[in-house]
Amino acid sequence: MTLVQMLTFAAVVLIVAILMTKYLIFSLTSAFPRLKQFKKLLNLLYVFNLAGFALFKERTFLNTKAAEIVSLVIYFYFTFLFVFVAYGICCEILVFARRFFGNFYAKTLSPAKRKLILAVLFLIAFGSVAAGWFMAQNVVVKNIEVRNPKIAEYTRVVQISDIHFSRVIDERFAEKIVPMINDLKPDLVLFTGDYMDKGIADPDKIAKIMNKIEAPMGKYAISGNHEFITGYFDCIDFIEKNGFEFMDGRVENIGRNIVLGGVMDRSAEDTNVYYHEDSKVLNQFQSGNFNIYLKHRPELEDGDSSHFDLMLSGHTHGGQIFPFTLFVKIFNRYLAGLYELEGGAKLYVSRGTGSWGPPVRFGATPEITLIELRP
């Protein structure tokens, strides 16, 4: 990420945070008019927005248990604020619509009704964050079956994606998912991008645990956009230390007539890392093989699906937190699940195994995907 992009991102985040805080203060003072005399005190909530930038500091900044707790508090606060404001906007639209029925409704709401709205929004936001935290810990196994005569032998493929190891997703999460993966007895394990973020307190401990994943046909990984945010070459080094072979820009026959090809995330275009065109990988696939195409973002150009039989992606997290899911869907044609493509090819988009930012998921359960390939 370039300096200009970082500054732009920071500016947008800060503006959005300020506007969300403004609505929170408006909701409080509308429900409790006496709070207006403490407006200067309430304005201190704006200062708290700056705390969010601590989450983007280098890994040397937040490594202690206390710092992890601080990170969780910041994440939970902004997640609560987002959900509160998202549903609050819907309420305000309804309140505004009442103006068209002036003969029946007053143009402004009484403090009593504002208290009711505040209470409802608070319960929804708090409930979403609390339930979402438990859901984020509840990784499920999603099973799909793919049949194709090109498959030489029954093969069990496990896909994991978007773990985002960080200051809040650490070795405890690795200890949870590794036994789940091994219990599935995979022949092949594939990781489809966004392995880590900055802030990992003990990367060696994570690597030691993840190396315990057993897959006789191999463990392969590709880059996601966060590999470039965090530092591409550092991430490659870390992921390889975790026991995965990197497949960016490579095609390899791994046996059983299965050919694996992976592409680098297009975030490379904005860095000094060489970015290969996806076609350079796609054109290496041969029609007689069962071709598995690994691409972090579920994006396709016309004709791409004629080169592969199965494409595996991640990136979207299935929206991660409702109602944010609605915004994610606008920008992603393929949100989550199995899609039939032109020519009989299939695309599977994982909801992700971990979480980005707040360890909260609501309406998009994290998953480990078992893909059974059958002749």
All residues at 6 or more sequence positions from 138 whose CB lies less than 8 Å from its CB, including other chains? 365, 366
CA distance 284 to 148: 20
pLDDT at res. 60: 42
pLDDT at res. 285: 96
The helix/strand/coil state of 349 is strand
- Domains of the chain are 3-135 (no CATH), 141-374 (3.60.21.10)
Residues of the chain with pLDDT under 70: 1-3, 5-6, 53-64, 102-107
CA distance 227 to 54: 20
All residues at 6 or more sequence positions from 272 whose CB lies less than 8 Å from its CB, including other chains? none
The DSSP letter of residue 63 is -
pLDDT at res. 61: 40
pLDDT, one tens digit per residue, over 217-248 is: 999 999 999 999 888 999 999 999 999 999 99
pLDDT at res. 375: 94
- The token duo for 87 is 């549903």
How many CA atoms, within 13 angstroms, populate the side-chain half-sphere of residue 320? 23
pLDDT at res. 54: 65
Alpha helices in the chain (DSSP H): 3-31, 39-42, 44-48, 65-97, 111-137, 171-183, 203-210, 225-230, 232-241, 278-282, 324-331
Q: Which amino acid is at 93?
A: I
| Residue that has been written with the tokens 């490659």 in this structure | 236
CA distance 249 to 285: 12
Whole-number Cα distances in Å, 367 to 73, 160, 226, 325, 328 = 25, 8, 19, 16, 18
pLDDT at res. 160: 98
Q: Is the dihedral of CA 47, 50, 55, 59 positive or negative?
A: negative
pLDDT at res. 62: 46
First to last CA, the chain: 43
Q: Global pTM?
A: 0.89
Check if the beta carbon of residue 296 is closer than 8 Å to that of residue 225: yes
Check if the beta carbon of residue 235 is closer than 8 Å to that of residue 198: no
